[in-house]
Chain A
Amino acid sequence: MLNGTLTPKKVRPNIDLSLWEKLYIFEVVRGLYITSRHFVIHLFGFIFPPAGKKRSIPTVYYPEEKVTLPEAYRGRPLLVMKEDKTEKCVACGLCEKICPGKAIAISPREKENGDRFPFKFVIDMSRCIFCGFCEEVCPKEAIVMSKEYESLATYNRENMIYNKEMLLRPEKELKARIDYVRRIYSKCNQ
């Protein structure tokens, strides 16, 4: 397919049916055979569902079972926490600038030694569009997309405003994603 063998499909408005197909009834029987075959195969698996993922029905019983997400999955953005329980973020404001939904709001402060840090780092999840630009633009690998997608639904819009304490996660939890980000964006930047 990649070697140029892909030809564009043409729509044939007037399909020439053979006599066999024009009789219709045999084609109906063929269709019924296919669906009945699926029916028979799955009937016994549906009455006695085999344990684990051995069954051929791909349905995931959501609250009990969950999908294993790939590294590329973009859940809600999180802040990376260093060993000393402080954030990696230096409050440069690039993510705030690039955010298409204007979901991020940062108020920077300076420490005694002159380092900047975000005194407030607020993400409004009702505005976030999960694009991952903040992660891409961040020079310090301080904000990454995670695999967290639950508990975003609430009864109150105030609950969707996440402050710094709610966003901070230890670095080793987000290790896999940070590695992925390094790999994928370094490849793009070459």
Chain B
Amino acid sequence: MIADLIETIAKILFVFGINMGFFSPILGWVERKQSAVMQDRVGANRADIMGYKAIGLFHPIADAIKVMVKEDFIPDGANKIFHTLAPFISLTCSIVTFAVVPFGGQYEIFGHKVNLVIANLDVGILFVFAFASLAPYGAVLAGWSSNNNWSFLGGMRASAQMLSYEVAMGFTIIGVIMVFGSLRLTDIGMMQEDFFRWGIFLQPVGFILFLTCAIAENKRIPFDMPEAESELVAGYFTEYSGMKFVMFWMGEFLEIVTISAIVTTLFFGAWHLPFITDADLVNFFSFAGQTGSNFLAILVNVATFLMKVIFFIWLQMTIRWTLPRFRYDQVMKLGWKMILPISLINIFITAVIILV
């Protein structure tokens, strides 16, 4: 009982720490620096402590200080409650999803069974979708409560776009569920132990569609209609400043991490290295004793998972800085006329193959 509690708290602290302490500050730096490197620029590198610039790594600290001392502004005529609530919804939705994402297999430490996922839900993937579909509330509430035309337009666009792509995303996932036969993300991860059973080989079309829908869900370029700097100032968070503004950004960055984690879990073998099973890992580290070998295997699992997540973060950033923005009608056409039919065809073909 106590061991379970300690285990859960440790896992929560680990996941929360790695998200809030590592990913959310570092991604701001990554976005600046990666865009700079891709566009033959230098990027932010002027914030220094005692003359050390550390390739711009102090910029997140400078940003944090700036944001904390900024005025928290609520516009005249705005709905104060919803205006304050919206960023919290946006941030919470993207953090909570990590509860069901497994970052390692099942191991034994000091005779206690450790399952490297915070909540091993039967309906893990549905939980992810439940919170993904709560996310539009953040954008819509922010847009509506700001008492600003641009914000309102951004909110409307956000709702239309996110609802459209939610449907297509659900259908793409059905193919994966049919192949693996389970809604539990841990099971899906377990089944990808064999390299040739990775989701990308079983559902290649599903991967592309899912990544597209996920980026559209996250409202990032090329699907950044709700923000659209050149059209709507900053879209639904035009009227936000200080900490609340940053909460939207943190929500967006953490959603990148979420998407990467889900894509890794569903399509890229979760925590598995290619051709190496968990049992192989434990055997390989058997020199460290029962607990030690399990612990080392956990470390390898987590490191593998994080490396895959970081690769997909890189991929999403590259997509964001490569492609131009769609027009609104193009976004809708792509969502309803292309991705949705293709995902339905994908389900049909998958079903036929499984049946045969």
Given A46-B42, A57-B41, A58-B40, does the pair A39, B34 have CB atoms closer than 8 Å?
yes
Residue of B nearest to A38 (CB): B38
Query: With a CB–CB cut-off of 8 A, which chain B residues contact A42?
Result: 37-38, 40
Query: With a CB–CB cut-off of 8 A, which chain B residues contact A38?
Result: 37-40
B68 an interface residue at 8 Å Cβ cutoff?
A: no
Given A28-B323, A31-B322, does the pair A56, B208 have CB atoms closer than 8 Å?
no
A32–B42 alpha-carbon span in the complex (Å)? 20
* Count of A interface residues, CB-CB < 8 Å: 18
Q: Which of B55, B321, B322 contacts A46 (CB 8 A)?
A: B55
B: contact size bracket: 10 to 19
Q: Is the CB of B40 within 8 A of A35?
A: no
B170 an interface residue at 8 Å Cβ cutoff?
A: no
Using a CB–CB cutoff of 8 Å, the interface residues on chain B facing chain A are 33-34, 36-43, 55, 208, 318-319, 321-323
Would you give 24 A-B contacts (Cβ < 8 Å), ordered by A?
A25-B208, A31-B322, A32-B318, A32-B319, A32-B322, A34-B322, A35-B318, A35-B321, A38-B37, A38-B38, A38-B39, A39-B37, A39-B318, A42-B37, A42-B38, A42-B40, A46-B33, A46-B42, A46-B43, A46-B55, A47-B55, A57-B40, A57-B42, A59-B41
Residue of A nearest to B33 (CB): A46
The 5 A-B pairs at the shortest CB distance, nearest first, are namely A59-B42, A35-B322, A42-B37, A39-B38, A35-B38
Q: Which of B33, B38, B40, B318 contacts A56 (CB 8 A)?
A: B40
Summarize A's interface: helix, strand, loop or mixed.
helix
A61–B43 alpha-carbon span in the complex (Å)? 11
A31–B324 alpha-carbon span in the complex (Å)? 11
Residue-wise interface mask of A (19-53) relative to B, using a CB-CB cutoff of 8 A (1 in contact, 0 not) = 00000010010011011101100110011000000
Nearest CB of chain A from residue B146's CB, rounded to whole Å = 34
Q: Which of A31, A39, A47 contacts B323 (CB 8 A)?
A: A31
Apart from A32-B322, A34-B322, 4 more pairs, CB < 8 Å: A39-B37, A46-B33, A57-B41, A59-B41
Residue of A nearest to B46 (CB): A61
